[in-house]
Amino acid sequence: DAGVIQSPRHEVTEMGQEVTLRCKPISGHNSLFWYRQTMMRGLELLIYFNNNVPIDDSGMPEDRFSAKMPNASFSTLKIQPSEPRDSAVYFCASSFQGKPPPRQYFGPGTRLTVT
Protein backbone atom coordinates (compact mmCIF):
# COMPACT_ATOMS: atom_id res chain seq x y z
CA ASP A 1 0.00 0.00 0.00
CA ALA A 2 1.55 3.29 -1.13
CA GLY A 3 -0.27 5.36 1.46
CA VAL A 4 -1.59 8.84 0.82
CA ILE A 5 0.45 10.59 -1.85
CA GLN A 6 0.87 14.35 -1.99
CA SER A 7 2.64 16.57 -4.47
CA PRO A 8 4.61 18.67 -4.54
CA ARG A 9 6.44 18.08 -1.25
CA HIS A 10 7.76 21.61 -1.21
CA GLU A 11 6.48 24.70 -2.97
CA VAL A 12 7.96 28.17 -2.93
CA THR A 13 6.03 30.86 -4.73
CA GLU A 14 5.63 34.59 -4.82
CA MET A 15 2.68 36.45 -3.44
CA GLY A 16 -0.14 36.67 -5.95
CA GLN A 17 0.68 33.44 -7.75
CA GLU A 18 -1.69 30.51 -8.02
CA VAL A 19 -0.75 27.39 -6.08
CA THR A 20 -2.20 23.92 -6.65
CA LEU A 21 -1.62 21.10 -4.20
CA ARG A 22 -2.45 17.53 -5.16
CA CYS A 23 -3.48 14.44 -3.26
CA LYS A 24 -4.06 10.80 -4.08
CA PRO A 25 -5.87 8.98 -1.25
CA ILE A 26 -5.38 5.36 -0.30
CA SER A 27 -7.19 3.10 -2.74
CA GLY A 28 -10.59 2.08 -1.41
CA HIS A 29 -10.90 4.98 1.02
CA ASN A 30 -14.05 7.06 0.58
CA SER A 31 -13.28 10.11 2.71
CA LEU A 32 -10.61 12.71 2.08
CA PHE A 33 -9.49 15.57 4.28
CA TRP A 34 -7.36 18.68 3.72
CA TYR A 35 -5.59 20.15 6.76
CA ARG A 36 -3.29 23.10 7.30
CA GLN A 37 -0.70 23.15 10.07
CA THR A 38 1.08 26.20 11.46
CA MET A 39 2.94 26.79 14.69
CA MET A 40 0.41 29.36 15.82
CA ARG A 41 -2.85 27.59 14.96
CA GLY A 42 -1.87 23.94 14.99
CA LEU A 43 -3.60 21.45 12.71
CA GLU A 44 -6.80 22.81 11.22
CA LEU A 45 -9.30 21.04 9.01
CA LEU A 46 -9.98 23.01 5.85
CA ILE A 47 -12.44 20.76 4.03
CA TYR A 48 -13.44 17.15 3.79
CA PHE A 49 -15.09 15.03 1.12
CA ASN A 50 -17.09 11.85 1.35
CA ASN A 51 -17.60 9.84 -1.83
CA ASN A 52 -16.13 12.79 -3.77
CA VAL A 53 -18.73 15.22 -2.41
CA PRO A 54 -17.65 18.16 -0.20
CA ILE A 55 -19.30 17.66 3.20
CA ASP A 56 -17.83 20.42 5.35
CA ASP A 57 -15.85 23.37 4.01
CA SER A 58 -16.32 25.59 7.04
CA GLY A 59 -12.58 25.60 7.64
CA MET A 60 -11.70 27.09 4.27
CA PRO A 61 -10.31 30.49 5.26
CA GLU A 62 -11.64 32.56 2.39
CA ASP A 63 -12.63 32.58 -1.25
CA ARG A 64 -9.00 32.40 -2.33
CA PHE A 65 -9.07 28.74 -1.33
CA SER A 66 -10.90 26.11 -3.34
CA ALA A 67 -10.83 22.31 -3.37
CA LYS A 68 -12.07 19.71 -5.79
CA MET A 69 -12.34 15.97 -5.90
CA PRO A 70 -13.20 14.96 -9.47
CA ASN A 71 -12.86 11.24 -8.75
CA ALA A 72 -12.15 8.82 -5.94
CA SER A 73 -8.40 8.83 -6.51
CA PHE A 74 -7.55 12.51 -6.86
CA SER A 75 -8.10 15.83 -5.12
CA THR A 76 -6.68 19.32 -5.45
CA LEU A 77 -6.45 22.31 -3.14
CA LYS A 78 -5.95 25.59 -4.95
CA ILE A 79 -4.97 28.97 -3.57
CA GLN A 80 -5.45 31.92 -5.89
CA PRO A 81 -3.97 34.44 -5.30
CA SER A 82 -1.53 33.24 -2.66
CA GLU A 83 -0.42 35.42 0.25
CA PRO A 84 2.50 35.15 2.72
CA ARG A 85 0.09 34.20 5.52
CA ASP A 86 -0.80 31.06 3.57
CA SER A 87 2.66 29.68 4.32
CA ALA A 88 2.14 26.42 6.18
CA VAL A 89 2.29 22.66 5.82
CA TYR A 90 -0.76 21.29 4.07
CA PHE A 91 -1.71 17.70 4.80
CA CYS A 92 -4.11 15.46 2.99
CA ALA A 93 -5.61 12.49 4.85
CA SER A 94 -7.97 9.70 3.88
CA SER A 95 -10.12 7.16 5.66
CA PHE A 96 -12.78 4.56 5.04
CA GLN A 97 -16.05 5.73 6.52
CA GLY A 98 -18.06 2.89 7.93
CA LYS A 99 -15.19 0.75 9.12
CA PRO A 100 -14.40 1.38 12.76
CA PRO A 101 -12.21 2.73 14.08
CA PRO A 102 -12.48 5.82 11.82
CA ARG A 103 -8.75 6.07 11.35
CA GLN A 104 -7.36 8.85 9.20
CA TYR A 105 -4.12 8.21 7.35
CA PHE A 106 -2.06 11.29 6.65
CA GLY A 107 0.08 12.00 3.64
CA PRO A 108 3.61 13.40 3.98
CA GLY A 109 2.41 16.98 3.53
CA THR A 110 3.28 19.88 1.25
CA ARG A 111 5.36 22.65 2.76
CA LEU A 112 4.22 25.89 1.15
CA THR A 113 6.23 29.08 1.39
CA VAL A 114 4.79 32.25 -0.07
CA THR A 115 7.26 35.13 -0.30
Partner 1 sequence: QKEVEQNSGPLSVPEGAIASLNCTYSDRVSQSFFWYRQYSGKSPELIMSIYSNGDKEDGRFTAQLNKASQYVSLLIRDSQPSDSATYLCAVKRGNEKLTFGTGTRLTIIP
Interaction site with partner 1 (CB under 8 A) = 31, 33, 41-45, 48, 50, 55-56, 91, 95, 97, 101-104, 106-109
Nearer to partner 1 (CB atom), residue 56 or residue 83: 56
CB of 26 to partner 1, least distance (A): 13
**Kindly report the CA angle at 55 between 52 and 61, in degrees rounded to 5?**
110
Among 36, 43, 41, 39, which Cα is nearest to 21's?
A: 36
| CB-CB contact of 36 with 46 (8 Å) | yes
Nearer to partner 1 (CB atom), residue 39 or residue 71: 39
CB of 69 to partner 1, least distance (A): 14
Strands 74-79 and 88-95: unpaired
CB of 110 to partner 1, least distance (A): 11
